[in-house]
Amino acid sequence: MKVAVIGAGVSGLTCIKCCLDEGLEPTCYERSDDIGGLWRFSNNVENGQASIYQSVVSNTSKELMCYSDFPYPEDYPNFVPNHKLLEYQRKYADEFHLLKYIRFRTAVISVRKSKDFGSSGQWSVTTEKDSKQETTIFDAVMVCSGHHTDPYYPLESYPGLKRFRGRYFHSREYKNPDQFKGKRVVIVGMGNSAADIAVDLSRTASQVFLSTRRGVWVIGRVYDHGYPWDICYNTRFETLKRNNLPMSIISRLTETKMNQWFCHENYGLQPVNRYKSCLNL
């Protein structure tokens, strides 16, 4: 069976590997000139490509995010900077000889059911490279293009924005704090990217504000006894508690644990939904 794999990032690479393990024939299409997907830092923002800032570090520990058949090197930090994560992907691709199955600088234009899909179950995949299009029939398609490519601008929520004399932009365009030296910055939202960028900017900007509508629990990447937070959180015992105790008790336990670091209410951060919102720093 011939399989089309769209994207050569974290998921695309392991999909190629899994196809080979099962005796399938993968062909991976990558619109850029390199592997890495989201984790490949670039100073430029490219349309259709994921974009990260220079200081990005994983918020999942290497023990829980490694490929099952290819552990991270022991000298890697528990939470991996983007350049080390890209290095790890290169090691993985080299170890299992995956690069020869990837067609770089090739964009997927369309994926459609073939004319005889009812009987064959096949797909018609049209690609473009150097302004030349090509259509190939595949038995299956794996979409590994990610979901961090298109920014969301709710500009209608800020009616006075057009009168604002400063600069406003999506976090996707942020790369490093150098150009914000001495400036006052407000960051709308308090997800992982917002908090990361706020910390990054705090070293150069004159003042940084975080605006959050619902609040959030802030926890450290390094958790009890120096272990990564997800190693402590994703245990059988913790899962048993979450699945069996009443929500009121879970909420109270969560609130008590989160407030051991600092009192969230003192900083206006206590979540409206006290159980579901969590942020790693």
Q: What is the number of domains present in the chain?
A: 2
pLDDT digits (tens, 9 = 90+) for 48-85: 788 999 999 999 999 999 999 999 999 999 999 999 99
Tell me the C-alpha distance between 267 and 195, whole Å: 14
pTM value is: 0.88
Are 5 and 136 in contact, with CB atoms under 8 Å apart?
no
Looking at the domain assignment, is residue 79 inside a domain? yes
* CATH number where 246 lies: 3.50.50
On whether both 131 and 187 belong to a single domain, the answer is: no
Residues 138 and 259 in one domain: no
Domain, as residue range, for 208: 155-280
Identify whether residues 182 and 133 lie together within a single domain.
Answer: no
Single out the residue in 114, 143, 172 at which a domain terminates. 143
Do 134 and 183 lie in a common domain?
no
Question: Please, are residues 106 and 129 in contact by the beta-carbon 8 Å criterion?
Answer: yes
Q: To the nearest 10°, the Cα dihedral for 235, 239, 240, 242? A: 140
Element (H, E) at 253: helix 247-258
- Pick from 122, 143, 164: which residue ends a domain? 143
Same domain, 139 and 159: no
Q: Has residue 222 been placed in a domain? A: yes
202 and 135 assigned to the same domain: no
Low-confidence ranges of the chain (pLDDT < 50): none
- Whether 220 and 246 map to the same domain: the answer is yes
Both 138 and 170 in a single domain?
no
Considering the domain boundaries, does residue 150 fall inside one?
Answer: no
133, 180: one domain: no
Together in a domain, 138 and 166: no
**Cβ atoms 257, 218 nearer than 8 A:** no
Residues with Cβ < 8 Å from 214, sequence gap 6 or more?
A: 271, 272, 273, 277
Q: Which residues contact 275 (CB under 8 A, 6 or more apart)?
A: 247, 250, 251, 254
Q: Is residue 17 part of a domain?
A: yes
Q: For residues 46 and 41, give the distance between their C-alpha atoms in angstroms, rounded to a whole number.
A: 11
For β-strands 25-30 and 102-104, DSSP reports them as parallel
* CATH assignment at residue 87: 3.50.50.60
Helix (H) or strand (E) holding 208: strand 207-211
Looking at the fold, whether 108 and 179 belong to one and the same domain comes out as no
Query: Are residues 95 and 49 part of one domain?
Result: yes
Question: 113, 143, 173 — which closes off a domain?
Answer: 143
